Amino acid sequence: MKVLITGANGQVGRALLKSIPVEVNAVGLARTQLDIGDAQAVMSAIRLQRPDLIINAGAYTAVDKAESEPQAAERANTIGPRNLAVAAAATDARLVHISTDFVFDGLASRPYATDAVTNPQSVYGRTKQAGEEAVTGTLPDRSVILRTAWVYSAEGTNFVRTMLRLMSAKGSVRVVADQVGTPTAAASVAEVIWALAARPEVNGIHHWTDAGVASWYDFAVAIAEESATIGLLPAQVRVDPIATEEYPTPARRPGYSVLDKRSLLSKLSIPARHWRSNLRVVLREISNA
């Protein structure tokens, strides 16, 4: 099977390239190599590579910056997926497109089902929802929309890396405690995508995160505790909970964004590991780097 991965320098893109199955011939293209917002470039690349599967790990993920750069967000998150879907349709390829919990408004009190009503509250969320619609509208029978949330890895810019930097520099952090979701290691998302690659009969919208539920405060406390255990941080780091109102941001975040994973748990023989277990793995990776 030949696979083309877009957004190859992102967190999930890198995780995919680190875990390519033996039966897969994968090519990764970073944004500098393929701007998915350029329809002609996308069609040329897909016709040249002739992949059986396209994995779109590319996106504009600067959530707050998107509020002041809506056109850039739309190019990557809406136009890009549409271009990939059109090229996939023209070449009989499948498409796995990564989406986000930000398509929901965060007002629910139980995990969002795959068919739950979407109501994004930010430019980022709206452009990602439009990207989903572009993919399913263009390639309904050969596409998978995989929504995930709170993704992090040992590399790149993410909550874990930011917390480690602030905790190391300041010895204390103040973290929002009234936004709830599920921290998810990029490697978990990659594992599920490769499982989907081997299951061409699976299509439609699905959710995947690690197991468990946490607030950003809970996540930060775990980062401090687990890092202290392996000597990555001193033991006396302080984490104080605050309300969303105490940390205003340009973009509105979902207050609750736990995703219901049952559709994939029933289709794939992959267990959802608890987020704290995967956090330990990532922190050890950072410590050993």
Q: Give catalytic residues, as residue numbers.
A: 124
Identify the sign of the CA torsion 124, 127, 133, 135.
Answer: negative
**CB atoms inside a 10 Å sphere around CB 238:** 11
Cβ contacts of residue 266 below 8 Å, gap of 6+?
Answer: none
CA distance 81 to 96: 10
3-state secondary structure the chain: CEEEEECCCCHHHHHHHHCCCCCCEEEEECCCCCCCCCHHHHHHHHHHHCCCEEEECCCCCCCCHHHCCHHHHHHHHHHHHHHHHHHHHHHCCEEEEEEEHHHCCCCCCCCECCCCCCCCCCHHHHHHHHHHHHHHHHCCCCEEEEEECCEECCCCCCHHHHHHHHHHHHCEEEEECCCEECCEEHHHHHHHHHHHHCCCCCCEEEECCCECCEEHHHHHHHHHHHHHHCCCCCCCCEEEEECHHHCCCCCCCCCECCECCHHHHCCCCCCCCEHHHHHHHHHHHHHHC
| Residue 32 buriedness (CB in 10 A; 0-12 / 13-18 / 19+) | exposed
What type of residue sits at position 249?
T
